[in-house]
Structures are given as structure tokens and as C-alpha cells.
Structure 1
Amino acid sequence: MMLDEPGNWGRWGADDERGALNLLTPETVVAAAGCVREGRALSLSLPIRGATSSPAPTTVPHLRGRPLPQHFMSVDGGDYAAGARAIGAGLRMADDALVVTPHGTTTHMDALCHMWSGDRLYNGHPADRVRSYGATRCGIDKAGPVIARGVFFDVPAVRGLSHLGARDRVEPADLEACLDGTGVELRAGDVAVIRTGWPLVWREEGPDGYWAGQPGLSADAGRWLAERDVCVVASDNAAIGGLNERQLADEDLADDLHMILLWRHGIHLVEMLWLEELAEAGRIDFLFVAAPLRIEGGTASPVNPVAVL
């Protein structure tokens, strides 16, 4: 493995394509279910608004230049050639067609084949198995459902802010401060859910403010989470790590968050969450449920994560 840093390659065997999701044993899932105390479920996803049917470019956070979702409906025959079809006496139906590029435009889960270095994917699988027709190794279809304990890190709250600034980076001390006095400690197989509050900037300042950069985890914070054996890192920003005004990471390869988490440790990433209702709920631990679509060879899948309180 390049860059001489410990990781999870070989930990679950040479053929492993699920990475840290292997930590979700039946016992871990049963223990996670014990976090359900209210029976209340909160969606943690942003809406999918097709650029053909609503003003998505001005209403939904996304990365500049990424293709927006395209949503076509057949209900009036104007958007979609099929038109509304009659079914029996007086009954009608509408069909949908949806084209989505998950990275940067929707709440989504990254597959382990999404990024790599040299000629190897996570766990040493050959990178040439990622082709234009899909990835035959480490695709999102290998992930399966995620049912785990979620642990919430509301970083702006502990800093006394509504949201972090564009150049802010979340450090291990911030993560520790979020748990201080709560009685909650990270366990193997947990999902770390990190709030930056950055989607609020889209509402308050519009696209230009949102695109001025993004806060995110520092490399040391990513390593801190990996050392504690989380199975997923999820955040409300677009790249887990921070971005500059060109929407690129400033870190070098050794400190890139995708390389640290996805490539070295096999930790799946969930990006572009909406965490404001969860912040208002005041819960630190909860049952986290998310199921990526079984897109064979996909580098990502749209998801609608749910926090069950």
C-alpha cells in the first residue's frame, strides 16, 4: 500500500470489497437498535429536484458545474413523450424518468471504487477493474444496507456558531468536545455523523456564498475516526474534507480525506446530508439506517439516510 500508512487492507481477507461495513455484525446491529427511545424517524437527505421541473439551480445545494438531476414526468405529455395513459375506466397514471449523477448533486453514498491511487483500489484490487461500463470490484452494490448506531457531532454548536466558515476545518479536539459530558463514546461499527451547517449558507447567501469554499474534516480528524473503527463517515458538506473556492481539496495525497477513509480504511462516505432537524432534536446517539441502491458497479448511490430516535 502506498504512502506508508496503516489501514484495513487484508483485515477481512484478500477478496473483501465491503471494508469497514464488515464491522456491522448481528450483535452490533442489535446493540444499535437499543438507541431507539422515542420511535421518531428523521430524514437526513436533501430533496432531489430535477432541473427540468423545478428551479434546482437556485434552491438545492450542489457543486458548481456538476450535472443536476433531470426529472421527467408523463402526466401531461409535455415533458415525456409517452403521455398519461388510461388504465381501465376513468383511471389514469403518471410515470417518471429520473437521471441522477450523485456526486456533488444529491445526498449520496460513495463506493470504495470511487477514488484510488496508483493501480490499486481499496484492499489491493486492481484499478483497471473500474471501466466505463462499471466497476467489477468495490462497487456500491457490494455495500448492502447500513444499520448501525449513529453518533452525532454538532461542531458548530460546540463552537457557538450556526455554521462553520468556508475555511474552517474540524479537528480531533472538536470531535472530542462534541462528546464531552454526553456519556457517549465511539464504538467499532458506529456511523460518525458530522454537522458543519454549511447547507444553511445556501439559504442565507445563495449559491455564490455556498461555492466560496466549504468547511470539512481535517486529515487528523479523519485519522481519529478511522482509529476508532467507524464504519461510515457522513456529513452535510460535499466532500467530507474541506474545499477551496475552486471546489477542490487543498490537501496533498497523503492527507486527502477520500484517500484516508475510502482507500486506506475502507470506510464508506455519505455526503450532502441535511442535519438541521437532527441538531434541533438534541440527540447524540440514534439508530442510523441507509440502503444504497444496488447499482452494479456504481461509484455511488443516492440515499435517504434516516435517524430513528
Structure 2
Amino acid sequence: MVHEPNNWGRFGPDDQRGTLNLLTPAVVLAALGSATTGEVLSLAMPIRGATSSPAPTTVPHLPGRPLPQHFMSVDGGDYAAGARPIGEGLRVADDALVVTHHGTTTHMDALCHMWSGDELYNGHPAARVRSYGATRCGIEQVGGVVAKGVLFDVPRHLGLDHLPVDFRISAELLAEIATPGPGDVAVIRTGWPVVWERSREEYWSGQPGLSAEAGRWLAARDVAVVASDNAAIGGLNGSGLADESLADDLHLVLLHRHGVHLIEMLWLEELGRSGRTEFVFVAAPLRIEGGTGSPLTPLAIL
């Protein structure tokens, strides 16, 4: 039973898309007007190298999580004996990609990713989340996201390169920077990924992020998605966990109660340097039926 304000039932008893329902054709068309130069920026971290090499460990990730696995057949060193012949003098290299995205690469969380008690978002039974996938609120319900993106470049606003490790962004601070409207994608820059190049130990010492009140402030403004360059939207401590109580856990506040999808581990440095606050945000997760999330490459069209 959900006691605080929420979106359960708002879009119908069978709804599995949450505030993505706000992205009507009219809202999408209006969002396209946010592009003025046509420049396209990728907001994704790279998936780099095979697990047989040190390359995957050079991309920001949380410790203790399985890294993405990229195998190729061209050199015979991974999953096959060599490049596959397709005709005289012709050969082709194949790829196999295994991505465990939570905490290891840019990804979107589905509404079935986290819940409380026996119910998913909108009262769907949590028992529908099984080892073979979730039959309710899976990532395949998302489709494509085309919306107005609103950048909250918090460190730039404060005159910093990145936020301190224990910094929690307040609703008041977000309001100083911008006010998103219904159907917008709120993009939060903490600058924390730049710490990775300086010190992995510092990167793993915790992470700055949104406070619970800031998450509720965004939900009250009917954003379609909340996205950030950190690993959990909210902050993390040195153990890689949130310090907030379950009542204030941002995954429960946003995913479970309000049906707001989350995108984590973005790369926002070029977007921040562009000085743009508003832009067209485009993202499409893989149609993994019953998936709790998906890797994706979000785009900002300036």
C-alpha cells in the first residue's frame, strides 16, 4: 500500500509506462523546438574491450559488479576459432556482447527494477518478476523517448568542476537552476565521472547525488525521466549504498511510487561545456522483454 503522493492509477489500472505517458505527440513536437543548431552529442559511456583484457576496467563503474563482456571472432582469441569465411578472399568478424548494465555502463532502469512489499509500480504484483523476466513493467514497455531535456549543471552553477563526494542536491538548488515542465527529461550533472581519471579510489569512495526532497520536487513537476551521470541518481556512501531510509530511497520514490524511469551513468561533460540548458533528448532502450533495464546511448540534439 502506497501512502505518500504517487501516480498509481493515474494513467489507468493497467499502466506500465508511468510518466512516459505524458510524452504525447503534441508534447514531442513541442520538444523538437528545443533544438537550434542541430549539433548531436552522445551522452553515453563507452563499452570497451573484452574481459580477457584490462580495457573494461578503464571505464567508470561500481566495484564488485560484472563488467560488460565484448567478444569478437576476428582474432580467434575469444569465442570462436577465427574470422568466418563468406566467400573466396572474404571474411567477416562477428561480435557477441553481454552487458550487465546496472552500475557498469550507461543504462535505463525499468519500473520493475525496484519495489517495496508485494507490489510493483501501479499495484502490479511483484511476483510477476521472475528469473525468466518480468511480465509487468519491463523495459520493453518504454519504446522510444523523445522529449525536451533540461540540464541541471549543479557544479557549474556552484563554480565547481564536480560536486564533493558527500554532496546531496537539494530541491532549492535545482529550482535556482531551472524548472522542468510535464514530460521533460531532467538531466542532472554532478561531474563525478571526471574523478575517475584522477583516482579510482576516490571515485569508489562514494558519489554525490540528489536528495530525497529533490527527487520528490522533480516528481511533483511531472518529469518523464530523471537522468544523471552518477550511478544511482541519489548519493552513495563509501560502501556503495544509499544512506537514506527506505521511505526516502530515490528508486522507490521515483520508479516505484511515481513511475518515473531513471537513466544512470551518463557522460555529460561536452553537454555541460556547451552551455545549453534545454535541448532535444532522445533515447531508446533495447526491447529486452521482461528486462529490469537496458544499456542505451542517449543523445542530446542542441
- TM-score between the two structures when normalised by the length of structure 2: 0.98
2:177 — aligned with what?
Answer: 178
1:76 offset after TM fit, Å?
A: 1.4
1:266 — aligned with what?
Answer: 259
Deviation string, structure 1 residues 39-64 (Cα, Å, up to 9, x no partner): 10000000012442542454111011
Would you say how many aligned residue pairs link Structure 1 and Structure 2?
Answer: 302
The reply on whether 1:69 has 2:68 as its aligned counterpart is yes
> Separation in 2 of the partners of 1:286 and 1:53?
39
1:201 — aligned with what?
Answer: 195
Deviates more, 1:266-275 or 1:68-77: 68-77
Aligned 8 A contact 2:279 2:301 in 1: yes
> Any unmatched runs of 5+ in structure 2?
none
Q: 1:230 aligns with which of 223, 227, 230?
A: 223
1:128 — aligned with what?
Answer: 127
Amino acid at match of 2:136: R
1:128 offset after TM fit, Å?
A: 0.2
Amino acid at match of 1:112: L
Amino acid at match of 2:211: S
1:143 — aligned with what?
Answer: 142
1:20 offset after TM fit, Å?
A: 0.5
1:34 — aligned with what?
Answer: 33
Deviation string, structure 1 residues 8-64 (Cα, Å, up to 9, x no partner): 000010000000100000000000000111010000000012442542454111011
Aligned 8 A contact 1:53 1:71 in 2: no
SS in 2 for 1:223: helix
1:110 offset after TM fit, Å?
A: 0.1
> Separation in 1 of the partners of 2:214 and 2:236?
15
2:239 — aligned with what?
Answer: 246
Amino acid at match of 1:190: D
> Separation in 1 of the partners of 2:213 and 2:255?
15
Deviates more, 1:217-226 or 1:76-85: 76-85
Identity score, percent: 72
CA RMSD of aligned residues (A): 1.0
> Any unmatched runs of 5+ in structure 1?
180-184
Amino acid at match of 1:72: F
Aligned 8 A contact 2:185 2:227 in 1: yes
Deviates more, 1:89-98 or 1:262-271: 89-98
> Separation in 2 of the partners of 1:125 and 1:28?
27
Amino acid at match of 2:258: H
> Separation in 1 of the partners of 2:76 and 2:66?
24
Amino acid at match of 2:187: V
1:48 — aligned with what?
Answer: 47
1:304 — aligned with what?
Answer: 297
